[in-house]
Structure 1
Amino acid sequence: MASPQSIAGWIDISPAALRKLRAELELRDKSVLDEMGVGAIHTGYADLFFPGTSVLHTRARYLLFVPWIYLGLAGNPRARAERVRELKEKTEQWLTGRLRTHTEENDEGIIGGRVYPAPPAQPPDFAYWSALREYRLYEGIPRAQLLARWDRARVIQRKDVHTREDRVDQQPLGLFDVPPLPAWWMQEDADVSFQLAPHEAEFLRDRLAQRRPPCLLGVAAALLGKRLRPTAKTVWGDPFMRRAAEVFDRDHSGPDLHPASAVAALQRADGASALAELVRAIYAALVEALREQDLRAAGRLPLPDDHAYYREYLRSYWEEDEGETVRRACELPLQGLMADIHLPGRLPELLAHVQARVSTIRRASGVHTKLLDNTTLELFTGLEWDRKRTRARLPRRDGRGRREGFGQGTVRVADINYRWPMVSRMLRDIQEGLPDV
């Protein structure tokens, strides 16, 4: 009879499934639903400006922690193929425990910190593997295959590669190009934090800056200095990133580079974020209006106090926002947006419709007739049905059950941050670790 341990298998995720899962995780950021598909704008500009990054990223030192986990296993004689997953999980548990001991309590950057000592749903290597490849910190077979084909003698650091005439199947499975394992690695009393040592910060800064083809993140990393770092809440509003975009355009302009102008792309990302926010607000207001019709038809009166929350919220863009979001959305050149990133399906049609309608509204009284009309409802309904018909709320009959319980807080109306909170934290980590000059 097989033991329970031998029965329990390991499910490896294919690269395509992994990409799909990561895309879905992108759209769950801060519980923002993406029924209208505007998440493609988020992913498009985030990948354009910050390739290799993810909403799952927290702190820059994980770019070193993850390779050290594997290099530590490669140096451990007990890390045979049948035990490597178990020992990897124990190493991750050790790392989380040491970070919890030496990091401030309110720091949410510890992956798995909230469920410790249980393992997290997505371990650090799941979150950071694409970045390791993107910035040449790792070269070799895919992550899942590396564990499935584990041979610790063939998982090495680049500095240990020597010219040899081994057979092809004896070549390294994985090469990690990072600073060597620190002496404190896997020590019970190790003082582990997110603070980068000066040589680690310089290494990561240089590796990001050397990314080819050049990207905005790499240029920004190269500019980091004692007084030069991100400070603003939005990437388009950050003086440091505007400077990085100017340097990108000065040093890397050319027909073969994308974007052709980082300065212009940042400005379009600003407008696209505002337009996507309005799309989300309109969607929520349309569902809410249909929900009110459902309640009235069922004789469920009086209506809840928040029955018009999203419609009032939509009106506030003209009443309390002083038209700032509307102005940004209307100034967005849609052709430029489509030159920057890919917009799938009918998303261009949706954006063009919303922008055209919004541009004609001068005061809040026009919201009902221009944005909550039957033409807009039909367009939104069709797109939602095409995307997520099993959970579509807008179809009058088929969506009635899914509108049950809809109210304030069901949909979080928000702009798009393009992973900026994670990226800016990573850049600050590197800047704070650089030696004083």
Structure 2
Amino acid sequence: MTSLIAWLDASTEDQRRMREIVNLFSERESRDELGIGQVRDALSDMLWPGTSTLFTRARYFLFIPWCFRAAAEARSDVDKAAALADQHERRLIRALVDAGEKDGVIGANIGAALKNLPSALYWGGMRTHRIVNEATITRDDAIVAEVDRAHARRPSAPEAQYLDETAAWHAGAFHSTLPAVPKAFPAEAPDGFAMRQSEAAWLRDRMLANSPDTMLEYALNNRPDKASSVPWHDAVLMAADGERASIMRDARSFSILMNSAALVYNLLLAEAYEGANFNRVPNPVDDYRAQLEEWAATPTLADDLAGWDRETFWARVHLQNPNISHRTRRFIDRWIELLGAADLHHIGDDHDAREFIRRRETEHKRGQARLTNKRLLQAWLGASGSRPLVYRWPQLLPVLHDIHDGLDRADA
């Protein structure tokens, strides 16, 4: 039987979160096998509010409103306008490919059959950065508001003072300063993802207004390195100070220390995999022992273990997400305590550490635990959440550079 993930009567934000989870599960290195995703997401949101692993390029923040606005201006019937907005998002795929874009085109491989449209993936960020007029507005609400904007009778000045709510509704779904829809859009997008200077400045200002004192604010004002693999190794971001720099240090320590738990977990999987005589993945035990040795040689490891202020860390995380479970916190705290008492160069052979990870998988995944489910073990592809956490950085970096490239353009 085909397995399905479905949601009923869910908010747009809930749906976005579910799509992000599905996206993470399609990337085997990003899976939340040990149940630390709540903390990872809280840190990500503190660093980069209004972002997602589903983002690809910055200009989608304009493409999506343009698709809705162009559809509403062409159709006075709400249902027909909604259908046309859907078609516009699908037509945009071909327009971007024809413009020569290869990286970041949502739906490039599947074309008009795309199920998850860009608006579904970006809507949460559009709310956070107030690209939509109201933080609670849905995509269905947006097309209604845009049709009203384009076709409803505008109240006269005397009427408007008594119809503030109606007047605001007729202003449309999107920020009043949204750049105008380009001619022939979305059938044509000759500039592709390249933003005009005015567009980049507009998007930067929206994002700056809703991310004060964050690392996102700093990165919007200071172009990051193009090739940095993690944000705490970026030479530009390393110059940041204040609370955002402290959050970055928390994120780095959490990533480094909890990566050891993921590596021990994968070592246990590798041993069970080889012990069951499965052989599709070559030499996984040797591979994970080598990775654990490399982890134990991390230059900052001693400082991260001895100097990390975890009480302040947890205060920040719980302020961002008060719903972090007690089990999650207990697991994280206990793992770091185990590291502090262990020989780090032999953590993969430490009995207490190994048994602790076994119990955590059973507690977190129950019947889906690979270590006790031979069918799932056989399906293992050699990596289950084994990479260090990078907090959306690979997805965010192209967005940031799109904005900075646009700001550097000479055109208005």
SS at match of 1:239: coil
Aligned length: 389
Cα separation, partners in 2 of 1:27 and 1:86, compared to 1, 3 Å: same
Matches for 1:105-124 after TM superposition, within 5 Å? 107-118=102-113, 120-124=114-118
Give the CA deviation at 1:135. Answer: 1.3
Cα separation, partners in 2 of 1:200 and 1:111, compared to 1, 3 Å: same
Give the CA deviation at 1:240. Answer: 1.8
Instruction: Check the 8 A contact 1:270/1:328 in 2, yes or no.
Output: no
Instruction: Check the 8 A contact 2:215/2:245 in 1, yes or no.
Output: no
Give the CA deviation at 1:24. Answer: 1.6
Taking the aligned partners of 2:222 and 2:281, their CA distance within structure 1 comes to: 48
Taking the aligned partners of 1:190 and 1:264, their CA distance within structure 2 comes to: 41
Give the CA deviation at 1:382. Answer: 3.6
Matches for 1:146-157 after TM superposition, within 5 Å? 146=141, 150=144, 152-155=146-149
Taking the aligned partners of 2:337 and 2:283, their CA distance within structure 1 comes to: 24
Instruction: Check the 8 A contact 1:35/1:384 in 2, yes or no.
Output: yes
Taking the aligned partners of 2:16 and 2:93, their CA distance within structure 1 comes to: 26
* Amino acid paired to 2:333: A
State the match for 2:86 in structure 1. Answer: 89
**TM-score, structure 2 length as denominator?**
0.81
Q: Which of 257, 264, 267 is residue 285 of structure 1 equivalent to?
A: 267
Taking the aligned partners of 2:283 and 2:187, their CA distance within structure 1 comes to: 57
* Amino acid paired to 1:334: R
SS at match of 1:146: helix
Instruction: Check the 8 A contact 1:287/1:403 in 2, yes or no.
Output: yes
Identity of matched residues, %:
22
Does 2:328 align with 1:353?
Answer: no
Unmatched tracts of structure 2, length 5 or more: 1-7, 319-323
SS at match of 2:50: coil
* Amino acid paired to 1:263: A
State the match for 1:5 in structure 2. Answer: none
Give the CA deviation at 1:237. Answer: 1.3
State the match for 2:65 in structure 1. Answer: 67
Give the CA deviation at 1:116. Answer: 1.0
* Amino acid paired to 1:44: A
Taking the aligned partners of 2:280 and 2:62, their CA distance within structure 1 comes to: 51
Instruction: Check the 8 A contact 1:45/1:341 in 2, yes or no.
Output: yes
Matches for 1:21-420 after TM superposition, within 5 Å? 21-25=18-22, 27-28=24-25, 30-31=27-28, 32-76=30-74, 78=75, 80-104=77-101, 107-118=102-113, 120-140=114-134, 141-146=136-141, 150=144, 152-155=146-149, 163-166=160-163, 168=165, 172=169, 174-177=172-175, 178-186=177-185, 188-211=187-210, 213-224=212-223, 231-243=227-239, 245-246=240-241, 249=242, 261-293=243-275, 295=276, 304=279, 309-310=284-285, 312-318=287-293, 322-324=297-299, 326-327=301-302, 330-331=305-306, 332-342=308-318, 343-362=324-343, 364=345, 366-370=346-350, 373=351, 375-395=352-372, 399-406=373-380, 409-420=382-393
Unmatched tracts of structure 1, length 5 or more: 1-10, 250-260
Taking the aligned partners of 1:15 and 1:26, their CA distance within structure 2 comes to: 16
Taking the aligned partners of 2:299 and 2:369, their CA distance within structure 1 comes to: 31
In terms of mean alpha carbon deviation, does 333-342 or 90-99 score higher?
333-342
SS at match of 2:52: coil
Taking the aligned partners of 1:279 and 1:389, their CA distance within structure 2 comes to: 18
CA RMSD, 1 decimal:
3.4
**TM-score, structure 1 length as denominator?**
0.77
Give the CA deviation at 1:95. Answer: 1.3
Cα separation, partners in 2 of 1:102 and 1:20, compared to 1, 3 Å: closer
Q: Where does structure 1 differ by over 6 angstroms across 4 or more consecutive aligned residues?
A: none
Taking the aligned partners of 1:402 and 1:308, their CA distance within structure 2 comes to: 19
